[in-house]
Chains A and B, each alone.
Chain A
């Protein structure tokens, strides 16, 4: 009803007034004018970081302008060599990609069986995962450290990868379970008629259908693991070669604390690729995160 009434009304107004003066677009214009400076201020720290990474140390804190007089690319050489940012970047990418992949696949698998089948022990498994949200956790980093050492994984990145992947993952498991539970039964029945087994049904029918949840899980896990600090910090205390970016730059600041330009260059090398990736894939980020809320 509402639609039927409002449509003709809008048309008459559009005829009567030039479009740019209509109430909603004028409001949008004002909003834009207010938001542009706020947003520029919002990302100013990153713009400053890039600018500062190109200044010599002596001029580091001079002036608030963003364009450096003569770009000092040597800062980047120093960050790359002294701070070993290249190695750390590589470590961070390997850790993040592997643990996101492991967490997503294992989460989809367990979510599938929890959401679609009933089997003895199902409630117990579900209960265990939900309980981790509520029961108090002590300082769990040392037991994790202990397990990684005992498994003999301390000298490889696998320790960090598995520990990140095995961290509490309840949300994505519940998302998968909920999503798979509401898919129609006919899907499997039709596939079984064609002779597809359990694995085939999961891999070629169910998994492709769960793309929205997969996207949500990947994005949420990516943000968590890429931001992770304590776990890689503790696990790589005695093994500098395994440091991730965050830990590596933290250590670099400890050793070369007056080399601000080097710091800014190191920070730029580590932040810029993610920022660019985010800008390119931002639609997926936003849809992934909002998908998690809507379900």
Chain B
């Protein structure tokens, strides 16, 4: 009975609590702390602490597996800005994003608009098929794709040859010119379903009456798309773009299993570079350099953060702009 009373008091009487002492406030909030504790402890161990220690590690000369650590200050960062492989990987990650994300989002929006048609009875079936690759394990898809795209009579080359489109098989994943584009294409295929569902959710928030009204006014399909659909999903677009763009920078499982960053580093995006530096590469030939890899991670993290902040800023100014428009 006593606890029930306390609960009631805590919930309803905020005024009373403000007057009471600090210790009392903590005691009153004990259930809250108890409930927050599991998530906080887990996050501290596996999110907060690792982030902070990765900053510290970036200042060390350390292989990661021995007790032999030397504090070297910013030496890792100085070396990093002169490292050609780092900058190549850095730019490649953004190239991957700048090419992949607009194509992925446009295709996803296109599919979503077509599937959102009420008259399309097979829509759930199509939706399921487009979404299917999203639930499959990225690393396994990567390995599967190396077989499908194989230049040695893999099915894709087989079909292209049977259609007489090519005479020589294309080495999709073996030649430095094509590989990055192939990887981007596989990435788009693998993850298209996710933004498609986001767009569908956004489209479903548009009231049907608007379209009905537009039809009465004689607006055609394109006109409806341009004047109703697109303007109304802009607020969602910002979130969807952000989520998808950040996702495109985290493609380690797919690329590691598709190409391992090869051939000749042609698909070595940031995460693959960091993995190679941190663990000395697949063959174990290189020296593991965890301190240096952490520095690369922090540097890249700052770039991603700047990107996210720019997006957030863009979203806010757009919202301000829209509310200005409405108040006119």
A interface residues with partner B (beta carbon < 8 Å): 1-3, 5-6, 9, 24-25, 27-28, 31-32, 35-36, 39-40, 42-46, 48-49, 52, 61-64, 102, 105-107, 109-110, 112-114, 117-122, 125, 128-129, 132-144, 146-147, 162-163, 165-169, 173, 185, 188-189, 192, 195-198, 201-202, 223, 226-230, 234, 245-247, 249-250, 253, 260, 263-264, 267, 270-271, 274-275, 278-279, 282, 285-286, 289-291, 293-294
Contacts and interface: CB of A to CB of B under 8 A. Distances in A.
A109 B46 contact: no
A292 to B, nearest CB: 8
A134 B35 contact: no
Contact of A290 (B4, B22, B162, B204): B204
Interface stretch (B79-87, B114-122, B320-328): B114-122
A144 B205 contact: no
Contact of B275 (A107, A109, A230): A230
A142 B120 contact: no
Nearest to A228: B253
Most buried by A among B128, B135, B153, B198: B135
Nearest to A139: B297
B253 A147 contact: no
A253 B197 contact: no
A163 B46 contact: yes
Identify the 6 closest CB pairs spanning chains A and B, nearest first. A136-B301, A138-B54, A166-B46, A290-B201, A119-B29, A2-B213
A44 to B, nearest CB: 8
Contacts of A275: 132, 135-136
A167 B46 contact: yes
Nearest to B53: A143
Nearest to B295: A138
A24 B117 contact: yes
B217 to A, nearest CB: 9
Interface in B35-54: 35-36, 38-40, 42-43, 45-51, 53-54
A229 B253 contact: yes
A5 B216 contact: yes
B158 interface: yes
Nearest to B118: A24
Question: How big is chain B's contact interface, by range?
Answer: 35 or more
Interface string B106-150: 000000001001111110111111111111111111011101101
Given A125-B36, A137-B301, A162 B46 contact: yes
Contact of A165 (B10, B22, B42, B198): B42
Interface in B6-25: 7-8, 10-12, 14, 22, 25
Contacts of B133: 42, 45
B298 interface: yes
A267 B143 contact: yes
Contacts of B300: 136
Contacts of B162: 64
Chain B contact residues: helix, strand, loop or mixed? helix
A55 to B, nearest CB: 12
Given A113-B31, A192-B4, A290 B54 contact: no
A249 B38 contact: no
Contacts of B221: 27
Given A139-B57, A223-B134, A293 B236 contact: yes
A160 to B, nearest CB: 11
A295 B3 CA distance: 34
Contact of A138 (B57, B144, B189): B57
Contact of B240 (A61, A136, A293): A293
28 contacts: A24-B118, A31-B117, A39-B125, A42-B189, A48-B148, A102-B42, A113-B35, A113-B36, A120-B26, A137-B50, A139-B57, A139-B278, A140-B297, A142-B278, A163-B46, A166-B47, A188-B11, A197-B7, A229-B138, A249-B140, A250-B257, A253-B143, A260-B147, A285-B131, A285-B135, A286-B200, A289-B197, A290-B198
Among A107, A162, A166, A270, residue most surrounded by chain B Cβ atoms (within 10 Å): A166
Contacts of B155: 44, 48, 61, 64
A143 B54 contact: yes
Given A24-B119, A138-B295, A289-B197, A229 B54 contact: no
Given A195-B4, A246-B140, 9 more contacts: A25-B119, A46-B136, A110-B35, A136-B297, A185-B11, A228-B253, A229-B252, A245-B140, A290-B201
B33 interface: yes
A120 B140 contact: no
User: Which residue among A9, A106, A202 has the maximum number of chain B CB atoms within 10 Å of its CB?
Assistant: A106
Interface string B198-215: 101110110001101101
A28 B49 CA distance: 53
B225 interface: no
A128 B147 CA distance: 44
Contacts of B94: none
B103 interface: no
B166 interface: no
B171 interface: no
